[in-house]
Structure 1
Amino acid sequence: MSPLILTNARIVTRDEVVLGTVEVEHGRIVSVDRGNTSLPGAQDLDGDYLIPGLIELHTDNMEKSFTPRPGVRWPSIPAAVAHDVQVVGAGITTVFDALAVGDVMQSSSRVTQLKDMAETVAKAKKQGLLRADHYLHMRCEMSFETVVDLFTPFAENPLVRLVSLMDHAPGQRQFTNIDKYREYYQGKYHFSDAKMDAFIESHMKTSEIYSAKHRTTIVDMCRAHGLPMASHDDATVAHVDEASSDGVSISEFPTTEEAAKAARDKGLHVLMGAPNMVRGQSHSGNISARELAAQGAMDILSSDYFPGSILQGVFTMHQNIQGISLPKAVAAATINPADAAGMTDRGEIKPGKRADLVRVRLSEDMPVVREVWGAGARVY
């Protein structure tokens, strides 16, 4: 592979933005220099930003590619490739595909296609069909009766890099406000009022029966296999204390300022949704990501359900929150998730790091991905 030289770029490093040149050899960054170069073969980026490839720890976008409409099951490899193209087009070069292990519905397509999605990612990755670097994030729904049985085969899967502990039952965590729970699931499943009432009662009951014991079992399995864990939708200090006691390292989408600050105090990484950051509010009526960022109570952005939101979320942070520099905002989707996931080879434009790079141009203050390189090879 011939060297890649990118010049006349506004390079976003850990600490500053510099106009300069990046040189890449054998998939690694070998130099980052101020000023432009006239070396043969250098590509002029016309003053566009050059940022590290985005690192996504939690996206359920792949599920949408496998089931693009209710009752429609798309062929597996094309579905995975379509998801991958969307991810890379959003500037994401490392992605943890979040797969639901259990759900709020027994007959959910998430449950029936879990094994196929995981096997497809492994197969497509092995065959070199994917442009981004894909790993698995197992989202374990503790209130689901068979969640332990579903999770067990994944405990030794080398692609599994994160396990989240979730309970979406109404009356707590994400859905402290039961009216919000009703609005979300009644809209999603088109239940009648009577059926929705029964659904709420059933979900609260299964949570009471299963959640605590399933959490204990899965935490023990993760510890035994050295799998990093994330808590999900922490709402109280007690939730954070439990997570810290379990050995959790990431607090995903805390729903209150109290929980987010407690998580930071305990040394947990706090991950918030980029859609929340872009919109300025949570769709569930919980704490605003902008508020937490302004208070220094979050450090990771995730695109969650919409891949294109993460880059926009980065620039929203920088443009709308006083005191947040562009390098600090970019770190929320690069350096910080890399640190949280234990990926020391990427997340920063620095000699020796993996050459995952994204060229970004602003159009009326909106970031647009122009080109993407993965390990020094152009992938978009």
Structure 2
Amino acid sequence: MASGFSLKDQLFNREKTRYLAGLFAASHAGFDPDRFEAEVMAELPALELKQRISLIAEVLSRHLPQDPEGMAAAILNALPPPLDPSLSDDDFGDFIFAPLGELVELRALETAPDLSLDVLAEITKRFSMEWAIRPYLVHWTDKTLARMEVWAEDENYHLRRLVSEGTRPRLPWGQAVPLALSQPLPLLDRLSGDPTRYVTRSVANHLNDISKKDPELVLTRLRQWQAEGVQSQSELDWITTHALRGLVKQGHSGAMEMLGYDPAAPVTAHLQLGPGPVRIGGALEFDCMLQGPSDAPVLVDYRLHFQRPGGKLSAKVFKLKQTRLKGGTARLSKRHPLKAGASTFTLVPGLHRLDLLVNGIERGSLTFDLLAQAE
């Protein structure tokens, strides 16, 4: 990411605010785009990303009809054409429409839930309403789930994706919803055979969320989908791998076996560090020699135990290689950068540990001293 890059400024700025104002001015008599823009921009630069969403929703609410029906009509009339239905992935939409979902929640949640769900269904064809739908799952659980049963069969894949993404147990940025982990599974059953990767990725992410609390529930569902054969084998394999990625990092034996890796395979590993000192700002270099049954499939990860302030260790698992032991051996190498001054994780000098994981089982380990960055 380039120095000085600001996501909030890229997503919510004067140009985007003016664009939104133009849509409403063209479709709703009496909407003053200049006044709307001025009111938003008077406060927007000082706010963080989510605060900017709330601000735009609040200012819009002052410029639109006060009754739910009038507000709904104003929003629907202002919407641009839906996102391209011929695409199949990575078409999330324009964040400037996120405030519309918050506006619907702000103004019509308690008094007009059915109308609100109608409006959210249209907005999500322009920008995902995965966050905005969650208050409806809280306040109108049965009504919203019933609507989702219809949406799961809709021809628009953005609406189908909303069913899975909106009910995720651990949706990033999303408020908690009062659903048992198993409650949305009948909806996921319908979506498991979806022809669109944007939808199946959400289904896999949903299962990955569930796996953090109930791994067996996820494994059982994946076995069921395998038996039913409603999805192509290649896509179901992709869903399975993506859904089990959290369990794989944990070395969960059931997940490993489902992916075709035997945790009990008699594999040995010789692990060796590269030459020279290991420093912050440099890289950790290592290689390993694996030996075991000829042509055995292996999933190889490595786990680094980082020093933290106060002397505690913090472990993190990284991917290395999925391969086979051709002729009973495989040699793997890795160069792991040790970036100085990272905003998300600060490296601390001291004794660190490197573990090699083969099919979820630790097969080798060594320690190394991480030195301070060279002057």
Tell me if both proteins adopt one fold, taking TM over 0.5 as the criterion.
no
TM-score, normalising length: structure 1: 0.28
Q: Which protein is richer in helix relative to its size? A: 2
TM-score, normalising length: structure 2: 0.28
| Structure whose alpha-carbon radius of gyration is higher | 2
Bigger relative contact order, structure 1 or 2 (CA pairs below 8 A, ≥6 apart): 1
Q: Which protein is richer in strand relative to its size? A: 1
